[in-house]
Structure 1
């Protein structure tokens, strides 16, 4: 199959080259990735959409393109892997949608995007090899251009490696005026290749054909061992067991009744939070498999009512798991992982409701997958806008035991690990008046490390808009006041929470005076030798 040098193709080549140069200027020359990632993402999206006229005519592509452009905002403010992954997904979906007659379901799109990424690894090089162009009408149609890319590109790569390994070759090439092939030069060329491959994925997406039918279309309506009687008996049993668990949660979690001797509220909350979520997921899987729309079991009114009751109990179980996690956080502390766990629990509850709605309304499996995928994408998109590190740091400082709160003792190591996210909270804590002197000294040491590290990053190539805003907010919080001077590392250094290392004591010398002369050795005797 031949690829002709049309104006559209040349425009994409120019756009790809421009994006490679922009990436080199922003990332390689800038020596860091920060808010410049958002600038590159915006340029990538605009170039892709400008050279994809098919996306303009497809309203489905408008939604994906709008999502890609909106996701450049968190990439400009505080770039992260989730935001960039969602951006790439939306941009690739926008250029692939016009090639599909129908959307299908999110599961097939996950597979399609993964395959698109794998196949596109050779996209630019395949297009380069397939180029055909006649030089003139009088010449034969034998093409010379397709023969050149592989030997030229491969020859340059191997020549660069040899020049780097052999000083004779390297000096000879420098004498001829070529740039010196050092490790940095080779790395830069590889970086260009990575960027070119990535942007070419959306500028010229590959054509893929996938079978999007769901497995349930070919699954038998009656599963072995799953009869109406067995499902009815199982639902009665499950409802009774869930009623027992929910009753205990109502008694101990929701109403505040005293727990049995030897069981603390923190232990009761922590042990049940995640296993009960697994229970709810298994319940949802049972409803999906045993009560599919159109099956005999799903048509029985008694089973349908028992399923409604059971899903309601599962949703209450998830709510109890959320309360367990909140109670555990109040006793100990809030972390980014626990915030993510709370969001995951909320998604599980929504998924259970969607499973029930699917059964009652006879929705397809594609509808269920798309509904859950849409909810997950909305939550992930919201997560790119919120700094959960700053949220957890502010909560922990506000409830710290050291300033009269009801929470646990403040984990300064965790605040130091959070870095810029904890900067405002550390400064606010340092401005408190009634702090223990030793604790205030440790805070000043941790805050000084976080502040200096943030300033150094901002002055380097990792400038981030959100961190710049944090530094300005800290300056406004001080309002002319000065922070405590850092106590320094001391003679032996400090732990991550600012606690000084305790130097090991020197080995003690014997207090008895040294003898004036060495003791006389005991002579060897025959008995001693034996």
Structure 2
């Protein structure tokens, strides 16, 4: 948290303050954290009432402690009357209308009392709007400014700087661990055996609420006008493009090497378990089914690969890229490709257990694109190309894949697969959800005919609660298709193929109604 007074840095030693960099203001951070904690205790999962105007009065007092008032008694009288009026309105009833009146009025009073109240109605309305709308976003900017100030100071301490270089590997490594635990029920069992019962008492919603309140309260804790203090990078000339000290420390070569080494170790564990259980078919631990192992991991593993690819792209843009870094990146990308292939195998096993759907086809295509994108990162490194080339290559691959998919009759493909692999036809697999095939549209008719041709005693769910049958569904689809596609304007080659099929297999169709 920063104030608006830049520190003097003339003659500072190397590694000291950057010119014009604001000094942190600890009191603002303490005040913000305390008010956010109090607001969470008062308002989280509770109806709004008398506690709200009491809290807002306390907020005004804290804001004036941190932002000294300016002006004479006239300002105080005007602001006091306004505050009493809007707080009384909230004491009477907390409604959307009373909040709509009270919050902007409190913002206007604080701007007025602290001397940040411009002349003219238009300027004042814009200042209030900027405080309420842009103010919460300034928390991120001011936090980064404070962090940058801190980085310039902790560079003097080798121990602290070394600890900061573990922030990125440890933070992103924890995210990967959480994703792997979500994707791998075996790892989930291992985690459940750890003495981490206290984590079950953590209310994630309360933490998120507290973080949101931090941003909402910041413009009241640090009252700024329409523009606020000038960020430090804006004070440097265009020719003085210096590296961001925060990124320089968090993404230093040493940090990248540590991160890649840690991530490779984590991915080796996940990949080894996939090879052991998924690729070679070993028995899973008691209580874990192959369906659960396949289903839980398909999508989190793809998200993991995307995060990994993003980190690699950032790391490659931070010179110097040493030989060690390049080798670790190549190994890690190879592991990510294996991870995506495992995700595809998991999804294939899940489809075998629960049938194919349109979303699962889309998931297969998406996984193919992710695997191709990872391979293109390797190509970028080998060919010495830029990220711009990588974006173009991925775009070309996406267009090519989608163009190829557009030639495939996906509804017919899904219907054919589900009928061919259902329990009634194959002796194993899931029961056919023929109602879902009906939702695929008329292109599912040939597959429905193959299902109807099965012996009646082997067909599960031949009717539903409404009395509908597979035969009546097939007839309705065919009738609707022939009725809606009777004219030349709606002709397509794919529809003509279905029309020819229906002409050869007219069962259940009222041919007299056709032109």
Q: TM-score, normalised by structure 2?
A: 0.48
TM-score normalized by the length of structure 1: 0.47
